[in-house]
């Protein structure tokens, strides 16, 4: 790998191998760049900024008017002095223009994202300010933490972190489901607290599903390495393509290999993938994704299992009609209530 110590922000954006690494497309590029991040702290901050920008760039799919995009592109390029009017642009410069044209779109979109709610917790001798992001049922959001970590939050999820996050600690509390792309920092580990587990990482990508009312809690690792501790101080180490599974009602946990680890965070792309799921668990997920309430009167259907693929855009009636073909039940949708007969 070449020496990227002199690279500027826009240079990283024009580097194909770096874009592949950010998007997780080419295993060889991912491995090389993770090694570079671990051993090149001098220019890592700029590379981190570029990486987060690229992640936003390729996650957003909304369209905006060309005039608005062009105006934002002109503002960005003038601020960063990317123009060179006296010489024709090279191939690499054209690549930068293309990336920054999309970047203009994202810069506008980011400014239109949802509201982050904050609150203050007052104690007798000190004031601790907390930031809390609440995602209601039927929605998905993504946020950028102060350290550059990108977090996708699933429906009915709550994430909180202190005001000094990224300075002395990088700890968050999660109730729900989230997919993390953690910025590497060997000095300050990134820690996720759930009601059952503590998950510690340096720089990696992983999915955590830990709803307080859910019997199944699981963490699936896409890349990197993480350590999970439970309430009994038992520790588990996860390697890529492994999943930690906790069954709460019988207090049983294990780590196993996941053939399709991408299934565990496919929800970030609006997919609903079921792999031998119990109907009771499917109902819980659909309550969150479609903002409905299930009234399961047919108790025989609770433990029936189903495999299939849907999207969040699919109507709740359509999803249940397909599932009922193999599980044999009748249903009725009355406003926001789904009655299973």
Residue 202 lies in a domain: yes
pLDDT confidence of residue 152: 94
Condensed to tens digits (0 to 9), the pLDDT of residues 91-100 reads: 444 444 445 5
Condensed to tens digits (0 to 9), the pLDDT of residues 16-43 reads: 788 878 777 777 778 888 777 777 767 7
pLDDT confidence of residue 184: 86
pLDDT confidence of residue 70: 53
Residue that finishes a domain, picked among 235, 260, 285: 260
pLDDT confidence of residue 157: 96
User: What stretches in the chain show pLDDT beneath 50?
Assistant: 60-65, 68-69, 72-73, 75-98, 105, 108-126
Quote the domain boundaries for residue 62: 9-111
pLDDT confidence of residue 103: 52
* Secondary structure string (H, E, C) spanning the chain: CCCCCCCCHHHHHCCHHHHHHHHCCCHHHHHHHHHHHHHCCCCHHHHHHHHHHHHHHHHCCCCCCHHHHHHHHHHHHHHHCCCCCCCCCCHHHHHHHHHHHHHHHHHHHHHCCCCCEEEEEECCCCEEEEEEEEECCCCCEEEECCCCCEEEECCCEEEEEECCECCCEEEEEEEEEEEEECCCCCCCCEEEECCCEEEEECCCEEEEEECCCCCEEEEEEEECCEEEEECCCCEEEECCCEEEEEEHHHCEEEEEECCCHHHHHHHHHCEEEEEEEEHHHHHHHHHHHHCCEEEECCHHHCCCEEEEEEECCCCHHHHHHHHHHHHCCCEEEECCEEEEC
pLDDT confidence of residue 164: 85
Kindly report the average pLDDT of the chain as a whole number.
79
Count of the separate structural domains present in the chain = 3
pLDDT confidence of residue 272: 92
Same domain, yes or no, for 167 and 295?
Answer: no
pLDDT confidence of residue 219: 95
Residue 204 lies in a domain: yes
pLDDT confidence of residue 122: 39
Same domain, yes or no, for 296 and 310?
Answer: yes
pLDDT confidence of residue 74: 53
Residue 241 lies in a domain: yes
């Amino acid at each position: 790998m070449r020496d990227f110590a002199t690279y500027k922000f826009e240079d990283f954006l024009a580097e194909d191998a770096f874009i592949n690494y950010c998007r997780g497309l080419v295993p060889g590029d991912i491995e090389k760049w993770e090694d570079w991040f671990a051993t090149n702290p001098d220019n890592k901050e700029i590379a981190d900024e570029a990486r987060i920008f690229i992640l936003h760039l390729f996650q957003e799919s909304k369209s905006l008017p060309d005039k608005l995009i062009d105006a934002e592109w002109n503002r960005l390029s003038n601020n960063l002095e990317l123009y060179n009017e006296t010489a024709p642009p090279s191939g690499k410069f054209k690549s930068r223009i293309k990336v920054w044209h999309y970047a203009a779109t994202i810069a506008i979109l980011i400014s239109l994202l949802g509201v982050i709610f904050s609150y203050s917790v007052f104690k007798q001798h000190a004031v601790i300010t907390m930031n809390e992001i609440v995602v209601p049922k039927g929605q998905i959001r993504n946020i950028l933490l102060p350290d550059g970590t990108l977090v996708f939050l699933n429906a009915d999820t709550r994430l909180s972190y202190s005001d000094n996050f990224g300075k002395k600690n990088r700890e968050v509390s999660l109730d729900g489901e989230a997919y993390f792309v953690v910025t590497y920092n060997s000095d300050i580990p990134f820690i996720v607290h759930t009601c059952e587990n503590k998950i510690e990482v340096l720089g990696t990508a992983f999915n955590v599903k830990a709803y307080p009312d859910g019997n199944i809690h699981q963490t699936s690792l896409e890349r990197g390495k993480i350590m999970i501790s439970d309430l009994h101080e038992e520790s588990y180490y996860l390697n890529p393509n492994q999943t930690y599974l906790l069954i709460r009602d019988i207090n049983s946990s294990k780590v196993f290999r996941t053939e399709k680890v991408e299934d565990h965070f496919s929800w970030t792309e609006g997919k609903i993938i079921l792999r031998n799921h119990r109907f009771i668990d499917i109902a819980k997920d659909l309550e969150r994704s479609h903002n409905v309430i299930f009234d399961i009167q047919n108790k025989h259907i609770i433990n029936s299992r189903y495999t299939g693929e849907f999207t969040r855009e699919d109507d709740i009636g359509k999803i249940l009609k397909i599932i009922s073909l193999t599980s044999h039940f009748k249903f009725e949708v009355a406003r926001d209530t789904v009655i299973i007969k």
